[in-house]
Amino acid sequence: MTTIRRRSIATMATIALALAASVALSGPAQAFKLGMAVGGDTCCDWMKAQGDVAQALAKQRGWDFVELSNNADPAVATKNADIFIQDKVDAVIEFNGRAEVNPVLAAKFGAAHIPVVTYDIAQKGFYFVGIDNLAAGIAGGEALGKIAKDKWNCDVDLVLSSEGAGAGIVNTWRTGGMRTGLQHICPDIPQDKYISFEGNGQAVVALPAARDVLAAHPDAKKILVVGLNDGGVLGAVQAAEQLGRADDIIAWGQDGSFITGNNVDPHLAGSVFYFLEGYAVYALRDVIDPIAAGKPPAVKDDAGDPASRVKPCPVSAEAAQKIPDTAGRVAALLAAPAGTTEFDLFCPKS
Amino acid sequence: MTDAASTAPSPDVSRMGGWRANLPAGGGTAAIVAGAWLVLIAASGIHRPDFLSHQTVLAVSFTMAIVGILAVAQALIGMSGAILDLSQPTALVLSGSVVAWLLERGVPVPVVVVAGILVGAAWGLANASIIVFGKLNPIIVTLATNFIGTAVMFLIFQNAQAPLKSGFSDFGRTYFLGLPNIWWPMVILVLLVGYLVPRSRYGRHMIAVGGNRFAAQARGISLRKTRFTVFAVSGAIVGLAGVLFAASNGPFAPAVGATYQLPVIAGVILAGVSLAGGRGSIWLILLSVAFLSTVPTSLVFFGFSSNWQAVFQGAILIVAVAIDGWRAKRQQR
């Protein structure tokens, strides 16, 4: 009897030890795993920073984080979707500038039942988080129009559009939106004064193209520049500087990439900030946190009725001097209380 | 030191660069390119008389400056028999970004200029080391180092820019005698290198190695030494292009150098530089690059969008390669 009791106690102790060991080895419950595919375009600091911010916020929450780069390549974006699925992530954030492949990504993630947040480029079935690019474009165009009205009474010789066709619909919304905003303020600028060129969103590409366009309009003395982003617009400004026509040109950019810090071109009059690097605050606050808590919100995939809307912030060059550069903004954002956005921190109130 | 090549008969002058050496073959090329250029200017001027303005001259000469310098560097590689240096885009941006980085830290401009050139030379030497010691194909090596270099730069920075409010940047957007400051170093370089290649010992060695490496080796010319010299000099020239690139451009990302690849290669081939090595005139690069740089400006005057530029430059490259092949066959006969 004593032997049997001893054996029972020994068996129970063994089982208890085994259970304790297995609990110790398995650790806490498996962490939520967030995947992020950054854009991977080479144009801008903020693309890399988007991943850095998402990673920092995921770390604050104790989540696992997997970052891949889409390399601005639709084939890579598709391969990345397969990797996320194989890696069994719980949710994905996509910034995929090559929107033509988004339906393929949606089909893959949909079949795997993985919720996806998309930044700025709407896709059916993906939570839309981002700017209203058209509204941002119009805001920038109106800001430029006000300057043109004050300075030249809207009597403009040339309106240059630094397009970035590779950005697809985003380019149409932003650059076209800027023209629309300009027309709101200066409706009488003739259509033949509007000239587009391909700047690819990069100053180095836009510069020679704009130089040729300006050479082909040697008599233009009052020139406005709009475009996809600050880089593309800056190319036109620098072309005018090279041709000795810097005082003839006023430009307004988009995305705020090159209007902060102490190395700003004086002919860039302003830009529309989206604080792109900080989008993860919106995505996590309004979509990913509820998913991680087991309460996924209803999918809102329309840019007009988004899961989370980022506010555009038009800023003059003068006001932009008070806004830190990308690295400084990221540091301030990560030090701010949870849920604080860069718009809250940096957008001038007036 | 007296090496065999110094005492050996000079290489066949018909296979050398330079003004005299390229007649009649170089003269024919010059006539074709000059004719095409004049036709383009005349057609553009007739279509839009305001094409013939100082603004057009500025637009074309700004375009010429960097392309022309890179074309000289590429021509040396081609004439030496190494075919092409496909890592020029990385060397250009690497040099430019080092220049921007040093200027931001207040380093004096002369030191910065020298540093930019040395960075290019070091890049060339790195390429030459891999090619020579690995006994590898130059075109594959430079293709690979271009990828590696660009990727490494991405790991370090996203954008670089020289300080806008500086004498250095002012130099990049102002003029001397009505033409861009950055155009003049290109002209001086073309004239200087075009003069030295057929007349200096290293230049003759380079052409000899490019023309027939075995014959050159038999005459005591060191293939290894020549390759190191050519890549170092070519790299230094790309470094100079990087300095002027940083002076004349706004913010630039690591991959932007690739936009120069097509016009540079087209300019070299159009100038009659044989990619098979041993033949070509540096001086003709002035003409070929002037023609190629006029094309995009002219297209805009004709109402074509800037998207058409690469189409026309690609077509011109194909025509130039066809002419090069035809010329080589004719020489063989």
**Position A73 confidence tier, pLDDT thresholds 50, 70, 90:** confident
Interface of B with A in 141-180 (CB under 8 A): 154, 158-159, 161, 163-165, 173, 175, 180
A263 neighbourhood in chain B, CB within 8 Å: 161, 163-165
Asked if this assembly's ipTM is beyond 0.90, the reply is no
Among candidate residues B165, B262, B328, B110, the one with its CA nearest the CA of residue A241: B165
Query: Which among B163, B300, B306 has CB closest to A263?
Result: B163
Report yes or no: A137 and A315 within 8 Å, Cβ to Cβ.
no
Least confident of A43-52, A263-272, A302-311: A43-52
Q: Where do the H-state alpha helices sit in chain A?
A: 2-26, 45-60, 74-86, 102-111, 133-152, 169-185, 203-215, 230-242, 279-283, 289-292, 317-320, 326-335, 342-346
Contact A213 B307 (CB under 8 A): no
Whether cis (ω within 30° of 0) applies to the bond prior to B24 is yes
For residue B20, the model assigns a pLDDT of 46
Interface of A with B in 200-259 (CB under 8 A): 202-205, 207-209, 211-216, 218-219, 231, 234-235, 237-238, 241-244, 258
Please name the fold of domain B12-31+52-332: ABC transporter involved in vitamin B12 uptake, BtuC (1.10.3470)
Structure tokens at B291: 């023609």
Among B157, B166, B305, the strongest candidate for a mutation testing the A interface, having the largest count of A CBs within 10 A, is: B305
Residue A23 clears pLDDT 90, i.e. is over it? no
A160 neighbourhood in chain B, CB within 8 Å: none
CB contact set of B123 (below 8 Å; sequence gap of 6+) = B87, B90, B91, B94, B95, B145, B149, B235, B238, B239
Report yes or no: A346 and A310 within 8 Å, Cβ to Cβ.
no
Place of tokens 């890049």: B123
Is the CB of residue A327 less than 8 Å away from at least one CB of chain B?
no
Do the domains spanning A33-132+276-311 and A133-273 agree at the CATH topology level? yes
pLDDT digits (tens, 9 = 90+) for B251-262: 898 889 999 999
Is the CB of residue A89 less than 8 Å away from at least one CB of chain B?
no
Chain A closest-CA separation from residue B277 CA (Å): 32
Query: Which among B55, B173, B253 has CB closest to A42?
Result: B253
Residue A25 clears pLDDT 60, i.e. is over it? no
Chain A closest-CA separation from residue B302 CA (Å): 9
Interface of A with B in 152-181 (CB under 8 A): 165
**Position B321 confidence tier, pLDDT thresholds 50, 70, 90:** confident
**Position B323 confidence tier, pLDDT thresholds 50, 70, 90:** confident
For CA atoms A137, B306, A48, A322, the dihedral sign is negative
Least confident of A265-279, B32-46, B294-308: B294-308
pLDDT digits (tens, 9 = 90+) for B95-154: 999 999 999 999 999 999 999 999 999 999 999 999 999 999 999 999 999 999 998 998
pLDDT digits (tens, 9 = 90+) for A245-289: 999 999 999 998 899 888 889 899 999 999 999 999 999 999 999
Chain B closest-CA separation from residue A310 CA (Å): 24
Please name the fold of domain A33-132+276-311: Rossmann fold (3.40.50)
Among B147, B300, B301, B312, the strongest candidate for a mutation testing the A interface, having the largest count of A CBs within 10 A, is: B300
Q: How far apart are CA A267 and CA A234, in angstroms?
A: 9
Is the CB of residue A4 less than 8 Å away from at least one CB of chain B?
no
Contact B307 A204 (CB under 8 A): no
**Position A124 confidence tier, pLDDT thresholds 50, 70, 90:** very high
Least confident of A27-41, B159-173, B190-204, B317-331: B317-331
Q: How far apart are CA A20 and CA A12, in angstroms?
A: 12
For residue B4, the model assigns a pLDDT of 37
Residue A217 clears pLDDT 60, i.e. is over it? yes
For residue B319, the model assigns a pLDDT of 84
Residue B14 clears pLDDT 50, i.e. is over it? no
Neighbours of A50 (CB within 10 A): 25
For residue B17, the model assigns a pLDDT of 43
Residue A64 clears pLDDT 60, i.e. is over it? yes
Chain B closest-CA separation from residue A46 CA (Å): 9
Contact A203 B251 (CB under 8 A): yes
For residue B8, the model assigns a pLDDT of 37
Higher-confidence position of A218 and A5:
A218
For residue A46, the model assigns a pLDDT of 83
Residue B18 clears pLDDT 70, i.e. is over it? no
Share of chain A above pLDDT 70, in %: 91
A237 neighbourhood in chain B, CB within 8 Å: 250
Residue B306 clears pLDDT 90, i.e. is over it? no
Report yes or no: A35 and A70 within 8 Å, Cβ to Cβ.
no
CB contact set of B108 (below 8 Å; sequence gap of 6+) = none
Neighbours of B105 (CB within 10 A): 8
Helix (H) or strand (E) holding B123: helix B109-134
SS3 assignment, position A163: strand
Neighbours of A84 (CB within 10 A): 25
Among candidate residues A177, A182, A184, the one with its CA nearest the CA of residue A134: A177
CB-based burial label for B82 (10 Å; 0-12, 13-18, 19+): buried
Place of tokens 């962490």: A31
For residue B169, the model assigns a pLDDT of 93
Give the distance between the most distant pair of CA atoms in chain A.
112
The chain-wide mean pLDDT, for chain A, equals 90
Is the CB of residue B7 less than 8 Å away from at least one CB of chain A?
no
pLDDT digits (tens, 9 = 90+) for B60-89: 999 999 999 999 999 999 999 988 999 999
Q: How far is residue B83 from each of residues A174, B88, B123, B265, measured CA to CA in Å? A: 44, 13, 17, 10
For residue B245, the model assigns a pLDDT of 97
For residue B31, the model assigns a pLDDT of 86
Query: Which among B250, B255, B305 has CB closest to A265?
Result: B250
Is the CB of residue B6 less than 8 Å away from at least one CB of chain A?
no
Structure tokens at B322: 């066809």
Helix (H) or strand (E) holding A94: strand A91-94
For residue A42, the model assigns a pLDDT of 66
Domain map (residue ranges) of chain A? 33-132+276-311, 133-273
Among candidate residues A186, A187, A194, the one with its CA nearest the CA of residue A152: A186
For residue B11, the model assigns a pLDDT of 42
- Our measurement of the distance from residue A98's CA atom to the centroid of its chain's CA atoms, rounded to an integer in Å, reads 13
Interface of A with B in 36-75 (CB under 8 A): 42-45, 47-48
pLDDT digits (tens, 9 = 90+) for A167-216: 778 899 999 999 999 999 999 999 999 999 999 899 999 999 999 999 99
Contact B58 A244 (CB under 8 A): yes
Report yes or no: A171 and A165 within 8 Å, Cβ to Cβ.
yes
pLDDT digits (tens, 9 = 90+) for B143-186: 999 999 998 998 888 788 999 888 999 999 999 999 999 999 99
Residue B2 clears pLDDT 70, i.e. is over it? no
B51 neighbourhood in chain A, CB within 8 Å: 216
Contact A197 B250 (CB under 8 A): no
Chain A closest-CA separation from residue B307 CA (Å): 7
Q: Which of A42-51, A101-110, A338-347 has the highest mean pLDDT?
A: A101-110
**CATH class for the domain made up of A133-273:** alpha beta
Q: Where do the H-state alpha helices sit in B174-302?
A: 183-199, 201-211, 213-218, 223-248, 261-270, 284-301
Contact B59 A212 (CB under 8 A): yes
Give Rg (Cα) of chain B: 20
For residue A10, the model assigns a pLDDT of 63
The mean per-residue pLDDT over the stretch A5-20 comes to: 63
pLDDT digits (tens, 9 = 90+) for B263-289: 999 999 989 888 778 888 899 999 999
Share of chain B above pLDDT 90, in %: 65
Q: What are the CB-based long-range contacts (under 8 Å, 24+) for B151-157?
A: B153/B90, B153/B93, B153/B94, B153/B97, B153/B254, B154/A42, B154/B254, B154/B255, B157/B97, B157/B254
